[in-house]
Structure 1
Amino acid sequence: MTTLLLLCISLPIILATTALEEPDAIHVSIPVESPLRPLLGSKVQVPCYFHQNTVDDPGAPTSAPLAHRIKWTYITKEKTAQILVATKGKISVATEYLDRVTLVSYPQVPSDATIEITELSSKDSGTYRCEVTMGIEGSSDNVDIQVQGIVFHYRAISTRYTLTFDRAKEACVMNGATIATPAQLQAAYDDGYHQCDAGWLSDQTVRYPIHEPREPCFGDKHNFPGVRTYGIRDVNETYDVYCFAEKMSGRVFYSMSIDKFSFYEAKDQCVKLGARLATTGELYLAWKDGMDVCNAGWLADRSVRYPINIPRPQCGGGLVGVRTVYLYPNQTGYPYPDSRYDAICFQDNILTPQRVTMKVLCLGGPHPYLTSKPLWGGFISLSIQIFGSTVYDEILPLTLKSINSLHYNAASLYVGAVHSMTLLHKNTYEDQALLEEGVVFHYRPITGRYTLTFLEAQQACQSIGAIIASPQQLFAAFERGLHQCDAGWLRDQTVRYPIVSPRENCAGNLPNLPGVRSYGQRPASERYDVYCYVGSLEGEVFFTTDYDSFAYDEAVEHCQKLNSTLATPGQLYAAWKRGLDKCRPGWLKDRSVRYPITTPKSYCGGGQAGVHTIYTFPNQTGFPDEHSRYDAYCFKGAFSSPVASIIAALLQQPVNKQSAAQPPVSFDWGPC
């Protein structure tokens, strides 16, 4: 009796255990890492494979190869929608997905249920289920898809329809994006995007998306909704642009104050928080992720915008989207930089070095004054600390050569540290951030017009305390009014020049239109002038004179007596941007003679603001003879000793490293 009772109890357990150990009759697998992140307007293939676990029984019936039923389903919190069903070699696609969805290999490969979805829009983000059944047996697998990116309309700071095709592409890059493709604009339209402004796309066409047709926005579709097109246009025509921002590697956040911030105060505020001003593209991505703030804030391109996800009348007229504050009622112009708004900042997910600390100690010897003598006596000790760790420590004789060596060692060590910690910023952001602090200027050496190869152009900028400018910096300088009818090298080995007021000899590739002319990328051996860039001034440029003025060598000695150096053109341009205004020509370090004008006067530089140059010849070439008599512009670093001034001046000379910018530097001085 006991044995029978144990058998009755054990048998169900044995049968259940056996059933658990048996594999599913059908096994379905989506062998990809979830989520998939395809781009807006692109396509995605989702692999799905299945096989049937058959029992090794000669008497068991076999199934036909196409007997299985395949079903793909789209699942969100709001709904579950059937995409397609396939069985016996026939595929039925839901109306919503017609012409967008296919099974890649079915029915040629009956066990392959891989699906391809084209023309992806944000509405396609969600969970996708691949389910295979036969009779009462079935199995499924899921994958998440997150469609990435957002299309946005962009208008330059000046006014409506001012961008040529090349300038449109550059404008998107400067705002953390790329020019959108027609497929991306169509996908944005499918998501509900509406904008009655014609803009460039990547295929050189001009289009705009309209959901609610009205008279000024009919285009080629009259009363029908859709994306309007002007077709392929000449690259020199001017329109706005549609940009595409893909993804962020950090976070966008607001910084607020009772008194708000001017544009430059907003920049400083973000830096204090270990961040920078966000780009327009980054704000659009943050808005797409749900950011909703009813306060306007400064962005890196000097625009003022705010993201609205929850519509309310007092915020953007009850409309959702990234709203823009324009200067004029016709939706053009950005607010003046001294206007006061909040700051919209961006912070990378990676750690960014904020400062390199250098400790300098003079060991013995007299006070070293600026001189051309090779040895001053005494020694100098320099240690470089990055994030609290010493990465460089050396004691050298106090000579100009040794200090110059310390400068380049310091810079290269910094670059190496940045590489090892993968702390590189994108070049586009660096260009934008640098331009706000500095100035782009045309440079012609003493040798004459169009005498610099590409390598010599880079060296020329470095020799005058600057670096060769990027195309983005030159374009932004043009937007701020830079006009120069002289072709010059840029950092990407192209040759360009900015024309605000076109005339016959300066038409270039943009006849009768303002813009940055381009010769395209040129062989490095060709000869032109160069456009240089100089950042913020770490010190002071000051004017000095004497009863009889100075010859060049006398100007050098006079600045040395004042514990300073003769200023470089780069330093004078930086001082001019800071507000230096002097109607007196003076010697500079490269033996040129120049003077800075910020307030135009008819008797100084022909009523034009800028740094004006004294040339020897009427064709604007040649520097004055070194025995000519002029005043002088001197530079004194913002440090407390002669040695500090020397090293500070040397450290300002930019190092030609494409991968990292010169770090901010602070000094801790010993007794010198």
Structure 2
Amino acid sequence: MIPVLICVLISLTVADSDLDTAYPDLELSRTIYVTENGPQLSVVAKESKVVSRRGGNATLPCRIQRYPSMPPNHKMRIKWTKLTSDYLKEVDVFVAMDFHKRSYGSFHGRVHLQGSSPMDASLVITELTLEDYGRYKCEVIDGLEDGTAVVSLDLEGVLFPYFPRLGRYNLNFYDAEKACRDQDAIVASFDQLFDAWSGGLDWCNAGWLSDGSVQYPITTPREPCGGKSTVPGIRNYGLRDKEKNHYDVFCFTSHYKGRFYYLIHPSKLTYDEAVGACQKDGAQIAKVGQMYAAWKLLGYDRCDAGWLADGSVRYPIANPRRRCSPTEAAVRFSGFPDKKHKLYGVYCFSGHD
């Protein structure tokens, strides 16, 4: 990197003795030019966003540009952190200085520097989880010089609105987090909700997002959803009290390792019989997030209503058709029926959650 000459303008206000006598209110400004070498180290990311999938790997780019005249420094420090939704807290991910390296928390054993050259500070993350989604900061400190770059890690996946058997608007933020986890998902971010809305999602019930805000997406304005005179968009209730306020939640899930399937069974089942039938088949009753992932990411299509782990009954339609889902591809929801009714089949999942 070539050093940059920076010109600093400093205005000094002085009073000229002769002029001051004749014009007491007149002041003269003199400008002094000061030059110095600019930064000799910078950090850049050739891509601002990297897209991968759960269970896969990702390389977050980070390149050090260091002026050749700088003396070698074996104590140059490379640190990666994950930025949280409130932008005030950072989670340590990985630190390296010379031969000393350390990974932290859930990243332990899953992260390392790509190290294609001494100036390559790119971070490799293996066995990606849903929680790995987000923004990461690469920081390099070399003596008195330092630089940072920020990279976003996105996951291929699907967003879905969710409420539990208790009914709508029964989840505070922490209940919402648990509800998504129980369905093999995480609370969605605003960016994920925006992408879903851009893809046509229209949902007239407010839900929690990962930053603690409550929002909902509308593509067809109407009276119960902000009014007919409003424009399409994402309605925003703002940040809400995470303990006292109760809403639905928007969850996000990605690819899974395993098999999602409808169990062929000679008779319809109660909920308990459905759980047992999956176990007898060497599997578990499937979760809502697994059905959405199979439907959206694998094109799973089945016009048979079946039990899921949360006690709901749903079925996935990838190819709209009469009597199944005539107008749109969707996961159809049949509610939370009495668990003792033998009216439905069951969806199972075998493999790793």
| TM-score range normalised by the length of the shorter chain | 0.5 to 0.7
Partner of 1:527 in structure 2? Answer: 246
Consecutive unaligned residues of structure 1, counting only runs of 5 or more, are: 1-33, 38-43, 50-63, 68-88, 93-102, 104-112, 114-128, 131-141, 147-246, 254-263, 279-348, 354-386, 392-410, 616-622, 638-647, 650-672
CA pair 272-533 structure 1, distance change in 2 beyond 3 A: closer
Q: Distance in 2 between matches of 1:426 and 1:445?
A: 25
TM score, norm. by length of structure 1 = 0.36
Q: Distance in 1 between matches of 2:213 and 2:255?
A: 25
Shift of 1:605: 3.2
Shift of 1:417: 6.8
Q: Distance in 1 between matches of 2:307 and 2:104?
A: 32
CA pair 272-505 structure 1, distance change in 2 beyond 3 A: closer
Consecutive unaligned residues of structure 2, counting only runs of 5 or more, are: 18-26, 63-76, 82-95, 114-120, 126-131, 137-150
**Alignment root-mean-square deviation, CA:** 4.4
Shift of 1:492: 1.1
**Percent identity, aligned pairs only?**
35
**Alignment map for 1:621-660 (pairs within 5 Å):** 623-628=336-341, 629-637=343-351, 648-649=352-353
Q: Please say if residues 134 and 154 of structure 2, whose CA atoms lie closer than 8 Å, have aligned partners that are also in contact.
A: no
Given the alignment of the two structures, is residue 143 of structure 1 paired with residue 36 of structure 2, yes or no?
yes
Partner of 2:235 in structure 1? Answer: 517
SS at match of 2:154: helix
Alignment equivalent of 1:483, drawn from 202, 207, 225: 202
Given the alignment of the two structures, is residue 433 of structure 1 paired with residue 154 of structure 2, yes or no?
yes
Shift of 1:632: 0.9
Given the alignment of the two structures, is residue 601 of structure 1 paired with residue 326 of structure 2, yes or no?
no
Structure showing greater relative contact order (alpha-carbon pairs closer than 8 Å, 6 or more residues apart):
2
Q: Distance in 1 between matches of 2:212 and 2:4?
A: 41
Alignment equivalent of 1:414, drawn from 106, 128, 134: 106
**CA offsets 1:56-76 (integer angstroms, 9 cap, x no match):** xxxxxxxx9989xxxxxxxxx
Q: Please say if residues 16 and 28 of structure 2, whose CA atoms lie closer than 8 Å, have aligned partners that are also in contact.
A: no
TM score, norm. by length of structure 2 = 0.65
Shift of 1:443: 0.2
SS at match of 1:476: helix
Q: Distance in 1 between matches of 2:317 and 2:167?
A: 24
Shift of 1:536: 1.4
Q: Distance in 2 between matches of 1:555 and 1:412?
A: 41
Q: Distance in 1 between matches of 2:268 and 2:57?
A: 44
Q: Distance in 1 between matches of 2:238 and 2:5?
A: 38
Q: Distance in 1 between matches of 2:4 and 2:153?
A: 33
Shift of 1:551: 1.1
Shift of 1:479: 0.6
Computing the radius of gyration from Cα coordinates, the structure with the larger value is 1
Q: Please say if residues 432 and 472 of structure 1, whose CA atoms lie closer than 8 Å, have aligned partners that are also in contact.
A: no
CA pair 272-600 structure 1, distance change in 2 beyond 3 A: same
Aligned length: 275
Partner of 2:129 in structure 1? Answer: none
Partner of 2:21 in structure 1? Answer: none
**CA offsets 1:271-324 (integer angstroms, 9 cap, x no match):** 889457x9xxxxxxxxxxxxxxxxxxxxxxxxxxxxxxxxxxxxxxxxxxxxxx
Partner of 2:46 in structure 1? Answer: 251
SS at match of 1:518: strand
SS at match of 1:539: strand
CA pair 471-45 structure 1, distance change in 2 beyond 3 A: farther
Q: Distance in 1 between matches of 2:303 and 2:160?
A: 19
CA pair 570-46 structure 1, distance change in 2 beyond 3 A: farther
**Alignment map for 1:266-305 (pairs within 5 Å):** 274-275=59-60
**Alignment map for 1:142-291 (pairs within 5 Å):** 142-144=35-37, 249-252=44-47, 274-275=59-60
**Alignment map for 1:235-384 (pairs within 5 Å):** 249-252=44-47, 274-275=59-60
Q: Please say if residues 541 and 634 of structure 1, whose CA atoms lie closer than 8 Å, have aligned partners that are also in contact.
A: yes
**CA offsets 1:3-48 (integer angstroms, 9 cap, x no match):** xxxxxxxxxxxxxxxxxxxxxxxxxxxxxxx8699xxxxxx96679
Q: More helix by proportion, 1 or 2?
A: 1
CA pair 512-583 structure 1, distance change in 2 beyond 3 A: same
